[in-house]
Amino acid sequence: MTIPIDPSMLTGGPEWQISRVGGGQTPAEIESGAGTGAESTSAASFGDVLAKTLGSLQAGQDQAAQAAQALATGQASDPTSVVMAVEKAQLQMQLASTLRNKAVESVQEIFRTTV
């Protein structure tokens, strides 16, 4: 039995692309101050990237909730797409939770470090 591949689960979309923080500068360019000026103002700050990512996470959660509600009310015609949306939202939340936990552990480790 062959299971068809759902094209929505491909990892080539923009949500799978990792952008470089700091406008794509190399560490040497950042240390030397190269690239400062007009072009550095267009670079996204860490806070901007984090806000955009959290917005994307919220949008995925909202989409899964809407799909689940449509399935519960009988409006959804394809239950597999609903399951895929809910699973994708669950994986997004699991990844965000893991990243949060690792960041908290890192900060705690920094605070425990003695000089």
Per-residue pLDDT tens for 28-87? 565 566 555 544 455 788 889 989 999 999 999 999 999 999 999 999 889 999 999 999
86 located within any domain: yes
Taking the C-alpha atoms of residue 28 and residue 26, their distance in angstroms, rounded to an integer, is 5
Instruction: Give percent above pLDDT 90 in the chain.
Output: 53
User: How close are the terminal C-alpha atoms of the chain, in Å?
Assistant: 62
The mean per-residue pLDDT over the stretch 1-19 comes to 55
For position 34, what pLDDT does the model report?
A: 58
88 located within any domain: yes
Report yes or no: 8 and 84 within 8 Å, Cβ to Cβ.
yes
Q: Which one has a higher pLDDT value, 26 or 76?
A: 76
For position 114, what pLDDT does the model report?
A: 82
For position 70, what pLDDT does the model report?
A: 94
* Residues of the domain holding 93: 34-112
96 located within any domain: yes
Question: 79-112 and 46-72 are packed helices; what angle lies between their axes, rounded to 10 degrees?
Answer: 150
21 located within any domain: no
Assessment of whether the complete model's pTM goes beyond 0.95: no
Burial class (CB in 10 A: 0-12, 13-18, 19+), 29: middle
Number of structural domains the chain divides into: 1
Per-residue pLDDT tens over the stretch 59-69? 999 999 999 99
